[in-house]
Amino acid sequence: VRVNSPKLVSCLYEEIDSFVQCIWHSIESVAAPRFYSPPLVSLPTHYGTPLLNA
C-alpha cells in the first residue's frame, strides 16, 4: 500500500482536477451568457442613460 500510495494519490489528484475542470467549464458555459454578456449589453442602457440625463 505504501509503495502504491504516491501513484494512487497523484492519479486521484488528476481525476479530481479533470473533474473540477469539467464542472468549472460547464458552470462557465452556463454562467457566462447569463452573468457576463447581459451586463455588458445592459449596463450602458440602464446605467448610462440616467447618468447622461443627470
Q: Over the stretch 1-53, which tens digit does the pLDDT of each residue have?
A: 566 688 888 888 999 999 999 888 887 777 666 555 555 555 555 555 555 56
Q: Which backbone phi and psi does 25 adopt, to 5 degrees? A: -65, -40
The predicted model scores a pTM of 0.42
Q: Give the number of domains in the chain.
A: 1
pLDDT on residue 5: 80
Report the C-alpha gap between 3 and 10 in whole angstroms.
13
Residue 15 lies in domain: 1-54
> What b/e sequence results for 20-31 when a residue is b if at least 16 CB atoms lie within 10 Å of its CB, and e otherwise?
eeeeeeeeeeee
Report the C-alpha gap between 11 and 17 in whole angstroms.
10
pLDDT on residue 25: 85
> 22 vs 54, which has greater pLDDT?
22
